[in-house]
């Protein structure tokens, strides 16, 4: 297995050849990430092989909210009836050269750890993700995410669950 390092995105990272197989995710890291960072629309973290700058994976976190009506009844029982603050896992992608090597899992766990840390000061209730397709849904379900009521690809994982698992 490669020795990957996950670090905040910087302009010195080489992302020109990044290809994960999803055009929107490829386009984001190749051409849009700098503008998102500059405008404070999200924070992107990249995976690189130790000592290198070529991006082999990435994820982006941002602030978000989930409509109260979209929460399953067991999740909403003790919550106020207004939008619930969450940390949005806006993107997660792995270059084709690193697929099948558990880098997606490493990126997700890193994102969840960072989200847990952020929730200590922001008090976000959950991590939210909009999966692009059924294989992405299966990936997130495997790690405990559950569907929201508005769309089966709109998923969430309560911070309390993350806290129990990652401590």
Phi, psi values for residue 16, rounded to 5°: -65, -30
pLDDT digits (tens, 9 = 90+) for 35-50: 999 999 999 999 999 9
Q: pTM, whole model, 2 decimals?
A: 0.94
* Range 4-166 classified under CATH 3.40.630.30: yes
The residue extents of the domains of the chain are: 4-166
pLDDT digits (tens, 9 = 90+) for 101-110: 999 999 999 9
Centroid of chain to Cα 62: 9
* Alpha-carbon span 28 to 11, nearest angstrom: 14
> Catalytic annotation on 36?
no
Residue found under tokens 């969450």: 86
Annotated active-site residue in 58, 59, 140, 156: 140
């Amino acid at each position: 297995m490669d020795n990957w390092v996950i670090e905040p995105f910087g302009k010195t990272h080489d992302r020109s050849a990044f290809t994960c197989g999803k055009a929107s995710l490829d386009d984001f890291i190749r051409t849009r990430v700098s503008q998102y960072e500059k405008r404070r629309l999200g924070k992107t973290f990249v995976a690189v092989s130790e000592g290198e700058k070529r991006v082999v994976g990435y994820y982006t976190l941002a602030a978000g909210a989930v409509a109260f009506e979209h929460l399953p009844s067991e999740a909403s029982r003790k919550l106020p009836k207004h939008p619930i603050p969450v940390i949005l896992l806006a993107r997660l992608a792995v270059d084709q050269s690193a697929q099948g090597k558990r880098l997606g899992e490493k990126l997700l766990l890193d994102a969840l750890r960072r989200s847990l840390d952020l929730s200590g000061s922001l008090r976000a209730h959950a991590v939210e993700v909009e999966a692009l397709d059924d294989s992405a849904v299966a990936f997130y379900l495997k790690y405990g995410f559950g569907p929201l009521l508005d769309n089966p690809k709109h998923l969430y994982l309560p911070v309390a669950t993350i806290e129990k698992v990652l401590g």
